[in-house]
Every structure is written in C-alpha cells, then in structure tokens.
Amino acid sequence: MANSKTLWTSAAATLSLVILGGASYYLWKEDQQVKKRNLAKTREKKAASLLREINNDHKMLHAEIDEHYKLMKLAGTSVPEKEWKTIEFKLSMSNEMLLRLMERLDAIRPLADIMDEDDREPTKYEKEIIAEIKQKKRRIISKIERDFKRLDTYKSNMPTKEISPPKEQSPFEEVVIESKA
C-alpha cells in the first residue's frame, strides 16, 4: 500500500511538472510572438512615418510646381530675363527634388524593415503590414511619376524667351554716359 501511495504521489508530481513545464513553454512561446508582433508594429510605425514625411514633402513640391507654372503662364514672355531664369531654375530644381523623393522612397524596403534578419517565413500579420507599406509606397511613386510627366509637359510647352545678348559698349560710350550724368 505504501508502495502504491508513493507511486501515485510520484505520478502526480511528474504529471504536475509536465503540465507546469508545458504551460511555461506555451507562455514563453506566446511571449516571444507578442514581442515579435510589437517589434513589427514599431517598425511599421517607423516606415509609415517616413512615408508620411515623403508624402508631405511631395504635396509641398506639387504645390510649388503648380505655382511656378502659373507664374510662367501669366508672365509669358514679358518677364525680365532675371525673373525668367529664376522660374526656369525653380522648375529644374523641382525635377531634382522629385528625384530625391524617389531615392528616399527607394530606401524604404518593407520586407527588410519589418522582418528580423533571420531567414524565417513572415507571419500573417507581418505579411499584412508589408503589403500595406508596399501599397502606400506605390501610391506615392505614382503621384511622383505624374509630377515628372507634368514637369516634362511644362518644359515642352514653355514659351521660349528670346534673350538678347547685352549690347557691347565701347569704353568711349561709357565715358560719355558718365560725363552726362
């Protein structure tokens, strides 16, 4: 009897340890998944913040392009040479700024930004986050490409400004002008 009581006690203790170990392992695994999910959320927020920043910069640049083009259209060819060059320069700089926005977008790599550096398959949640970031990135890229096309159209439709070279004066004429004053 004592032997059977010891056997039951040992079995109950072993079973308790197995259950406790299993529960501990389950909780540990669950904790690891929660940590990975929180890390993915943090990384998603960072990528989304960068995308928002790029989108805001694009909106400002888009407004500037419209403003420069309107100035150019309103002014026509009756603008002084210096102002005309300024408008042309600003349109050229807009093209450069659009290129820089595209470079900044290219630096955002959704899969690498969200995932750890291990070679595991992304979870369903991580795949959703990656797809969302890719979609936002594609939308911004299409907007920027539209502005590139607009700039090309603006430049091709830009009225040509005939700039006459400065009239060369002889040193004698400068002296005469100075003496009249």
Instruction: Look up the pTM and report it.
Output: 0.68
Token pair 């005469």 is at which residue? 176
> Residue 4 carries which DSSP code?
H
- Reference 147, options 50, 55, 72; nearest CA is 55
Q: How would you write the pLDDT of the chain (181 residues) with one tens digit per residue?
A: 668 888 888 888 898 989 999 999 998 989 988 888 888 889 899 999 999 999 999 999 999 888 877 877 776 656 677 777 777 788 888 889 999 999 999 988 888 878 777 667 888 888 899 999 999 999 999 999 999 998 888 777 766 655 444 455 545 555 444 444 4
Angle at 70 between CA 68 and CA 76, to 5 degrees: 100
> Residue 120 carries which DSSP code?
P
SS3 179: helix
